[in-house]
Structures are given as C-alpha cells and as structure tokens.
Amino acid sequence: MATSTEAATSGEVQTVVAARRLEHANSVFIGVGRPSTAAILARMVHNPHLVLVYESGTIGAKPFRIPLSIGDGELAETADAVVSVPEMFNYWIGPGRVQIAFLGAAQVDRFGNLNSTVIGDYAHPKTRLPGAGGAPEIAACCQEVVVIAPHSARTFVEQLDFRTTVGYGDGPGDRARLGFHGRGPTAVVTDLGVLEPDPETCELTLTQIHPGVDVDSVRAATGWDLNVVAEPQSTPPPTDEELSSLRDLLSR
Amino acid sequence: MAELTSLGEAVAEIVRDGDSIAMEGFTHLIPFAAGHEILRQGRRQLELVRMTPDILYDQMIGMGAARKLVFSYGGNPGVGSLHRFRDAVEHGWPHPIELEEHSHAGMANRYAAGAARLPFAVMRGYVGTDLAPITRVRPIACPFTGEELVAVPALRPDVAIIHAQEADREGNVQLWGIPGVQKEAVLSADRALVTVERIVDELEPRPGGVVIPGWVIDAVAEAPGGSQPSYSLGITVRDNDFYRFWDKLSRDRDEFESWMRQHVLTEVRTP
C-alpha cells in the first residue's frame, strides 16, 4: 500500500475526482468497485450526510470498509432502511428519488450510451458480459448519471456492440422522446480526465484533464474523433486529505 | 402447511427434470445447499430463473443441469465473470444454453406480477435499448393518460427455492437482512421449498423481518450453513475469499469438474 507521501496513481485520481462530484449531492446510487470506493470517500471527506444507496436494497448504508459485493452484511447492518428489490426499483429508482447514479460499463459511445451485455454478436458473442442489471432503469430515472470507466479505445468506442443502457441515445431530444425523466450522463470520469456532454449536441467532450496527462493521449485512448473544449480545465491534484483518506479506506 | 422434512426428501419430492426453478437471494441467503442437492440427485434440463445467477448457477450450468437461463445480471459480484456461464454461452460447453435476459427492474416486476397472479406488470423501462427487441417485453399505453409504458410478462416458475434464517415447527419462515425478491419468488411459484439455518419453537420478531406463512410453502428443510459461501445475516458471514477463489478455479473445465465431484457431488447428504 502506497503511503500518502507517494504521488497519486491515475486510478486514485479517478476515484478522487468521482468523489468530488458528490460534494453537494443528497444521495448516490452505486455498484461495487471504484464507484463504491468513491462514494464512501465522499462521505469521509466531503459530505458526511451523503446517502449511499446500493442495488441490494440498502438505503443509507454507512460502510467502514469497502464492500466486495453490494450485498455484504455491513451494508444492511448500517443502513437506514433495507428494502426488497421490487420496492427499490418501483418506489426509489423509478420515481427519480435518487439524485446521482454512478455507473460503469465495458463500452461507452460518444452519446454516453453503455454496453454491459456482450462484445461481438449477441447470438455468438466473443465475450459474454454480465448483462444489464439495474443500469437501464437507473440511467433513465435517476436525476443524473456519472459514468466511471477506464480510458481506452477498447472502452470508448465509435459503435457499441450492444446498447444496454441509454445515455443520450442518438443525440439531442432522444431522452425526452423516450420519456426519460432523468437528465442523463452529466460526466464521464476516467483515469485520464473528464468528459461532459456538449450542451447543444450532447456529444461527450473533453472538459478536464488529470495531472500529467495531455490532450493527445486522451484522444489516442478514445475510439472516436474526440471533441475538446477550447480550454480544458486541469484537474486539481488530490489533496493530502483526499489521498490519505482514500489510502486509509483501501487498507481497511 | 409446510412439511418439515430433510433436504434430500424435499428436493426429491419437489424438483423434477425440466422444471423452471427460481432459486432467489440477492447476494444474501442464496440457497446453495438446495442447489447442490439438486445436482446430487441428477436433475436435468432445468430452466434456471434468477436475477443474479452468481456462483450457484455457474456451478449448475457447468454441471450441465440447465437448458435455459432467465436472468438480469450474470456476474461474480465484486469479482468479475462467471466463467462456466461464459463458457456455456461463448462455446456451448458442456452444452449450449438458451438465454432470456432482462433488467433487474424487469425481473423484479415479473416476480411481483407472478406473485399477484396477474398476467403482466407495467413499468417504465427497456425503451431505447437493444434489450427490448430481443426479450419478452411489449409496449403498452396507459388506459387513463395514454402514456407509453412497458409490459413485462409474469414469472410463474414451477418451483421456488429460498434460504432463510429460521422456521417454526408449523413451517412459518422468517428471514431478515437484505430481503431481495424471495417473498415474491415463493408466491409466484407452484411449489416452494425453503431451507433454514435452524428450526425454532417460536419466531421472534426481527427488525425488517419478512415472515412467509407456512401454508404457502410446500416443504421446509433444516440446512445449517445452507447459504454459504453467501451468508445468512446474524448467523453466517459471506465468504468473500471463496468468491475470489471461484474466479480462479472455475476458469478451467477440468479443475471445475474435479472440484465439483470432490466438494459437491460426494458430500454426505443432510440427514
């Protein structure tokens, strides 16, 4: 385990940047992995009142350690309420009661649509991925979606092999046409930077780059011709508090 | 009223070749002991229904017990892939398997409709995805407002199997902690088997406790530790190391089969 005097890795920066997006949030819906780590970090450093909602039905979980699965006992034991799966989707996710959802995916396209179903042809896949889980309805209904994914041309693709989850569909107006109440993806946080939808075209655009990363390397790691805002912001490096809290959390 | 019986007798009585079987438990209370007993009794051609197939269905698929999988998320939670599931879908090993996949919201609503004995449930979802055209959902207009919604067909499995912490001697069952979709699964099925950590004289009310009356359950069998490597809140702890171990072991067909023979197929039956 790195000590807090060592420079942050790109993965640590990604987690810290995702956590910062929860500074003023009321509630966040999370799966396991980096999204969960970022949300727990946000509760530790930025926002002690943040309500963590896990798909397993735990609302207001307060995990001390990073859970391996969304159903770990500590989540149920520390939650404000534990609800059934039908209740979670029909009463909590569906009506948009959860403000921000963190989602991951194997593939992301320029409109923030996600694939977590197959690589290759559906009937004869090269790689069978786990499938939709809660993502399609979470992305349709939560007020806002933040996608967290590693930045590579394998992940950020021109064309999804399967559209599991809708971001902005084929572009402006699609979410309204499909009857979605949530705003859709407001950011994609990667280990290289942050992409945000262009206000006119909805196309994911590089708005922020992490320390030590240049625009060309982000372009090279993106499978479509990536738009970049005129003056991308430099990500402020993790503070000592952010980094030491994250490393403390990972060591628990 | 539920019959209190042994796991072996309960499975022999309730589970038949070709059945559709819903073994539920959302990361918690997964009925591993019952699934292993089904494998020991050699049931075949099963339609396995479950929101999150997890390691148990990976084992059942890898042993060739399944002809079809109805599901919404086929991963090893927090670890990665289910390698036996992937091998069946990607390479048809040990034989090809038919898939019917949904979203979690879709599956949860399908169980709820089945429990209510309604033909379908209404929800918002699926639209705009590539899932909609390949699975069993249909658009439906709200008769009051005209809003376009989605209908998902009720799930009516032949058999539901769940694991709970406790049952009393009348076969009334109580589970607590993450309740998942187990109550809906039991009420949606024609026959229901519940394994429990322990039989008690009287069920003690628990915060968040879900009680399922014995008269909607066919058989209750005591199976202490029966949800391991998943867990039964307050009694056993999730064996996270096993989930990681499974990721390595299950990649290899021979290692998988030899492990299953040694640890599942030859295990002494619960008396």
Strands A227-234 vs A114-115: parallel, antiparallel or unpaired:
unpaired
CB pairs below 8 Å between A and B: how many? 172
Smallest CA–CA distance, residue A164 to chain B, in Å, is: 5
What is the residue-wise DSSP string for A164-191?
-B-SSTTSTTHHHHTT--S--EEEEE-S
| Cβ-based burial of A214 (10 A; exposed 0-12, middle 13-18, buried ≥19) | exposed
Is the Cβ of B114 closer than 8 Å to some Cβ of chain A?
A: no
Query: Do A136 and B233 make contact, defined as CB atoms within 8 angstroms?
Result: no
Q: Which residues contact A188 (CB under 8 A, 6 or more apart)?
A: A108, A112, A146, A147, A148, A149, A194, A195, A196, A204
Q: Which of B72, B76, B91, B104 has the most A C-beta neighbours within 10 Å, making it the best mutation to test the interface with A?
A: B104
pLDDT classification of B270: cutoffs 50, 70, 90: very low
Is the Cβ of A40 closer than 8 Å to some Cβ of chain B?
A: no
Tracing tokens 């949300």 back to the chain, one arrives at A39
Percent of chain B having pLDDT more than 70? 98
pLDDT for B88 beyond 50: yes
* pLDDT on residue B268: 57
pLDDT digits (tens, 9 = 90+) for A154-198: 999 999 999 999 999 999 999 999 999 999 999 999 999 999 999
Is the Cβ of B180 closer than 8 Å to some Cβ of chain A?
A: yes
pLDDT for B214 beyond 60: yes
Q: Where exactly are the structural domains of chain B?
A: 3-103+155-265
| A72: chain B residues, CB-CB within 8 Å | 27, 238, 240
Q: What is the pTM of this model?
A: 0.96
Mean pLDDT, chain B, whole residue set: 96
pLDDT digits (tens, 9 = 90+) for A217-242: 999 999 999 999 999 999 999 999 99
Query: Do B180 and A56 make contact, defined as CB atoms within 8 angstroms?
Result: yes
pLDDT for A5 beyond 90: no
Q: Report the distance separating Cα B111 and Cα A64, nearest Å.
A: 33
pLDDT for B75 beyond 90: yes
Cis preceding linkage at B229, omega within 30: yes
Q: Which of B111, B122, B124 has the most A C-beta neighbours within 10 Å, making it the best mutation to test the interface with A?
A: B124
pLDDT classification of A1: cutoffs 50, 70, 90: very low
Contact B221, B54 (CB under 8 A): no
A6 or A66: which leads in pLDDT: A66
pLDDT for A23 beyond 50: yes
Mean pLDDT, chain A, whole residue set: 95
pLDDT for B147 beyond 90: yes
Query: Do A71 and B243 make contact, defined as CB atoms within 8 angstroms?
Result: no
* pLDDT on residue A4: 52
pLDDT for B267 beyond 70: no
pLDDT for A2 beyond 60: no
pLDDT digits (tens, 9 = 90+) for B149-174: 999 999 999 999 999 999 999 999 99
* pLDDT on residue B263: 96
DSSP 3-state assignment of B71? Answer: strand
Query: Do B74 and A72 make contact, defined as CB atoms within 8 angstroms?
Result: no
Determine which of A27-36, B31-40, B203-212 has the lowest per-residue pLDDT on average. A27-36
Is the Cβ of A143 closer than 8 Å to some Cβ of chain B?
A: no
What ipTM was estimated for this complex?
0.95
Query: Do A84 and B237 make contact, defined as CB atoms within 8 angstroms?
Result: no
Cα separations (Å) of B180 from A50, A192, B58, B75, B214? 24, 37, 19, 17, 19
pLDDT digits (tens, 9 = 90+) for B220-263: 999 999 999 999 999 999 999 999 999 999 999 999 999 999 99
Smallest CA–CA distance, residue B77 to chain A, in Å, is: 5
Tell me how crowded residue A36 is: count the other CB atoms within 10 A of its CB: 24
- Which domains, ranges and CATH numbers included, belong to chain A? 10-245 (3.40.1080.10)
Contact A167, A112 (CB under 8 A): yes
Instruction: Give the residue on B whose Cα is nearest the Cα of A120.
Output: B90
pLDDT for A246 beyond 70: yes
pLDDT digits (tens, 9 = 90+) for B117-139: 999 999 999 999 999 999 999 99
DSSP 3-state assignment of B210? Answer: strand
Out of 3.40.50.300, 3.60.20.10, 3.40.50.1820, 3.40.1080.10, the CATH code matching B3-103+155-265 is 3.40.1080.10
Q: Taking residues B22-26, what's their average pLDDT?
A: 97
Percent of chain B that is helix, strand, coil (3-state, to 5): 30, 25, 45
* Residues of A designated as active site: 55
Query: Do A174 and B111 make contact, defined as CB atoms within 8 angstroms?
Result: no
DSSP 3-state assignment of B118? Answer: coil
Q: Which of A32, A40, A69 has the most B C-beta neighbours within 10 Å, making it the best mutation to test the interface with B?
A: A69
* pLDDT on residue A6: 82
